[in-house]
Structure 1
Amino acid sequence: MSDPLLSSENTVPSSSPGRATFSDEPTFPSSPPSSPPGFPWEQPEKNTSKPLQHVANNAFSILGKRKPLTALTENARPLKKSRTTFSSTKPTAPANTLAQTQLSLGQPTQIKCPTCCMSYVPSSDEDRKLHTKYHKQNTEGYDMGKDFVSKARPYSVYPGADHTGWACAIDCHDKWGRKGKAQGVMAVVQREMGAVEIPEDEIWDLKKADPRLCFDPIWRTYLYVKGGKCVGFLLVQAIEEAFGVEEPVDELPSMAKTAAVKTGETASTALASLKARQQAATERNERLSKRPLQLSKHTHPAKLGIARIWTSPTHRGQNIATTLLDAAIEHWNDQVRLTKEGKERVRRESTLPPESRRIMDELAGPPRERIESKDEVAFSQLTEAGRRLATRWFGKGWGWGVYMD
């Protein structure tokens, strides 16, 4: 007989798989729980936001606060300094800004002084100072110092007109201080005359001079010093030839006829006849002075050339220019005499053999000769005033020389 406990027919099937139930383990509900979400995005969102508060928006909240630059290298840009307030006691440095110093309203920017002929800008402080200095030198004379005449070399100073001044000769053998004074005067003269500038080395540098002319320089200047200031200037050079100024032929018949008529009208006395001829000659010279010079085609020998001559405007009409011309001729003849005496003394005292002395004489060249008349003097770059001076100094409107420098 079978045991009923072991019979399969009386056994009731379990609702779940067979698992032992213990008293120390929790019991689970009989129905299975709902399946959890399989992916993170399927999980429900948790509401963790706080209630909104009203915040005022500004530029910093939108753009963010600007951070200072970090110095990465030694040449980093410095931090921006805070502005100084009005309550600050330290003065601020002026800003380096451009400012307009003059207004351009169509007016002429440069003017020309009618006295010294210098062009300058009156609105410029620097130009006004330069013009004042140049104007004073031009009108009152170039300052030479009190001892300029007393320190001159022997046989280089000659009395001036009416013994009110002195004509001083300056050449390349003088000291550099005296040559600098003469160069300063010549700069004023050339600017006023508008003449072509002559290089300074050609006039003053003894090393660049012709060795054959070491005793007699080519260039010389003559300064008329009065009251410690130079009021007259003359620059001469040694020349060999010049062109003669010819007398106009086309006006000779008409001028002679006019003089004859005037002589016949007033020929009652010899004095009246002389005055008539002088008046006719004066009128003729005035007319000829307005015509261009007629030069001869051939040259004649000449020795002294007048390159530049000038007189201060406030000292004109005092025979300063003619005094300088006379002093130049006298100084030329003195130098010719002194040079011959010096060469003879050197020849007597020299211990060189005759052949060496002969070579030295050949290198020195032929000696210069004295100026016997004004016909051996010629002018260059004649202006209207220079032509009047030449006519007055020579005493005639033609017959004197003009050379090309």
Structure 2
Amino acid sequence: MQAKISAFFKPSTTKISDPPQLFSPIEDELELKAPEISITYKRRAPKADPCSNSQQTEETPVDLNSVVSTVKPACMLGQILNKKRSYAQFHLELGQSDFLLHTCYICGLKYARGEEGDEKVHKAFHKKYTQGIQFKGWHNERVVPMPSGDGARIILILDGDPSAQWNKILDVVKMIEKELGLEDGWLIHKSCKVYLFISSQRIAGCLVAEPIKNAYRVVCSEAPKSSSITHAKEAGSNSTVLHFGDVSFKREVIKTAPSVNSPELIDSDVSGAIFCDNEAVPALCGIRAIWVTPSNRRKHIATRLLDAARKSFRMGFVLESSQLAFSQPTSAGKILASRYSGTESFLVYKAATLNC
């Protein structure tokens, strides 16, 4: 007879006892002495990072459980955006005379542009050269009495005056020698008399005179001058006629005779050599050098200095303008000497090189 299905779901009344546990002392000892094995992993050496200056060369063990996934910033883009470009100015040296030092065309001083020290030196020297060296005055001044309505005065300095006065003179002399191209220390000696023109507390002009015994008269070159005038007239006559096709226009030109003060009185080649007469004539005062600051030129300062030298060079005696002789006159000096003397045949002399 087949058993009913409910018989399979009846709980069992018999209690099955658990099998006895077997304990082995050897296994317990091995289990206690077995070491713990930790699993670690080594990360591969990363590629060179262009954003960082240092590179990791050692491999360090990394626990994967502590690794947190991070997103690497796009440093290349940031480097391009944040990088500041450095611009450098380059120059080509092709034999320029003023490649390193610039020469001032007014005062002639060479200096480095952009250098703070050189700029200050040039600024101070440029002001001294163009406006004159600053002069506050002395306690004992030898003032030459001259008519003056502008507050200027002329001071005479002689050998034996205080050294402080001569130190100021030497500062002026250095500027004169540099501009005239003279040798250092050539201009002044013991027999010289120095005249300073003071205006607005600055030395605006200087004249150095010395005693002489004779001089030579300049010879006028008439033939070259007449030929040059003839060519000028021919060129002038042709330039006054304007031709426009068959029509001609002629301009009327009124010519006047040049005055004594006109530069036309002097030979056209003012920068050329001076030809003198072989026969010496007596002279008393030699103008070794005369100089006026550029900003004070064409103000008759040189004329006033020459007047002061004529009236005070010899005590109690006033020299004639024709008794002054000039040493090595420049082109401007020729014009001044001719205007002041009233003739082209003014006196010149060769100044000797004397030691102070």
TM-score by length of 1: 0.52
Deviation by residue 1:74-94 (Cα, 9 ceiling, x = unmatched): xxxxxxxxxxxxxxxxxxxxx
Give the equivalent residue in structure 2 for 1:19: none
Contact kept in structure 2, 1:245 and 1:296, CA below 8 Å? yes
The equivalent residue for 1:151 is 140
Note the C-alpha offset of 1:291. Answer: 4.7
Which of 165, 172, 182 is equivalent to 1:185? 172
- Equivalent residue number for residue 332 of structure 1: 313
Alpha-carbon distance between aligned partners in 2 of 1:253 and 1:135, rounded to the nearest angstrom: 43
**1:314 maps onto 2:295 in alignment:** yes
The one-letter amino acid of 2:280's match is T
In the alignment, is the contact (CA less than 8 A) between 2:204 and 2:296 conserved in 1?
yes
Q: Residues of 2 paired with 1:305 and 1:128: CA distance?
A: 39
| Equivalent residue, structure 2, for 1:385 | 332
Q: Secondary structure at the match of 1:278?
A: coil
Q: Look at both structures and tell me which one has the larger radius of gyration over its CA atoms.
A: 1
d(CA) in 2 for partners of 1:168, 1:219: 14
- TM-aligned CA distance change 1:293 to 1:240, over 3 Å: same
C-alpha distance in structure 1 between counterparts of 2:148 and 2:299, whole Å? 7
CA deviation after TM superposition for structure 1 residue 305, in Å: 1.0
Q: Is the CA contact 1:161–1:320 (under 8 Å) kept in the aligned structure 2?
A: no
> Is the Cα contact below 8 Å between 2:154 and 2:305 reproduced in 1?
yes
Q: CA, structure 1 residues 310+161, in 2 after alignment: closer, same or farther (shift >3 Å)?
A: farther
Report the aligned-residue RMSD.
Answer: 3.4
* Structure with greater strand percent: 2
Residue 112 of structure 1 is matched in structure 2 by: 103
Q: Work out the CA distance in 2 between the residues paired with 1:381 and 1:283.
A: 21
Deviation at 1:104? 6.5
Superposed, 1:74-93 pairs within 5 Å as none
Corresponding residue for 1:236?
Answer: 209
Residue 126 of structure 2 is matched in structure 1 by: 135
Does residue 250 of the first structure (1) align with residue 223 of the second (2)? yes
Shift of 1:254: 5.5
- Give the AA of the match of 2:185: I
The separation in 2 between residues aligned to 1:388 and 1:152, in whole angstroms, is 32
Equivalent residues of 1:289, 1:397 under 8 A apart:
no
Q: Which runs of 5+ in 2 are unaligned?
A: 1-88, 232-254
Q: Residues 180 and 286 from structure 1, CA distance in 2 versus in 1: closer, same or farther, beyond 3 angstroms?
A: same
- Secondary structure of the 1:157 match is coil
The DSSP-based 3-state class of the residue aligned with 1:308 is: strand
- Tell me by how many angstroms 1:197 deviates: 2.3
> What letter corresponds to residue 111 of structure 1 in structure 2?
H
Distance 2:158 2:133 in 1: 18
Partners of 1:117 and 1:237 lie apart in 2 by: 28
- Structure 1 SS opposite 2:108: coil
Q: Report 1:158-307 matches (<5 A).
A: 158-159=145-146, 162-198=149-185, 203=189, 218-251=191-224, 276-278=256-258, 283=264, 285=266, 287=268, 289=270, 291-307=272-288
1:157–1:231 distance in 2 versus 1, CA, 3 Å: same
TM-score using structure 2 length: 0.59
Q: Comparing both structures, which one devotes a greater share of its residues to helix?
A: 1
Query: Helix, strand or coil: the match of 2:196?
Result: strand
Distance of aligned partners of 1:104 and 1:226 in 2 relative to their CA distance in 1, 3 Å threshold = same
Count of matched residue pairs: 240
Superposed CA deviations along residues 41-81 of structure 1, whole A, max 9, x for unmatched, are: xxxxxxxxxxxxxxxxxxxxxxxxxxxxxxxxxxxxxxxxx
Identity over the aligned pairs, expressed in percent?
25
Please tell me whether the aligned partners of residues 338 and 346 of structure 2 are also in contact (alpha carbons under 8 angstroms): no
Which residue of 2 is the match for residue 404 of structure 1? Answer: 351
In structure 1, runs of 5+ residues without a counterpart are: 1-101, 204-208, 210-217, 259-274, 338-369
Q: CA deviation at 1:183?
A: 1.3
Deviation at 1:302, TM superposition (A): 1.2
Letter paired with 2:335: R
Q: How far off is 1:237 after superposition?
A: 1.1
Q: Helix, strand or coil for the counterpart of 1:224?
A: strand
Q: Deviation at 1:160? A: 6.2
Q: Cα deviations across residues 205-249 of structure 1 (Å, max 9, x unaligned)?
A: xxxx5xxxxxxxx11111100111101111111111212101214
What secondary structure is seen at the aligned counterpart in 1 of 2:281?
strand
Secondary structure at the counterpart of residue 289 of structure 1 = coil
Rounded to whole Å, the distance in 1 between the matches of 2:326 and 2:193 is 15
Distance 2:311 2:230 in 1: 41
Query: Does the CA contact (< 8 Å) of 1:222 and 1:324 recur in 2?
Result: yes
Q: What is the correspondence of 1:350-369 to structure 2 with a 5 Å cutoff?
A: none
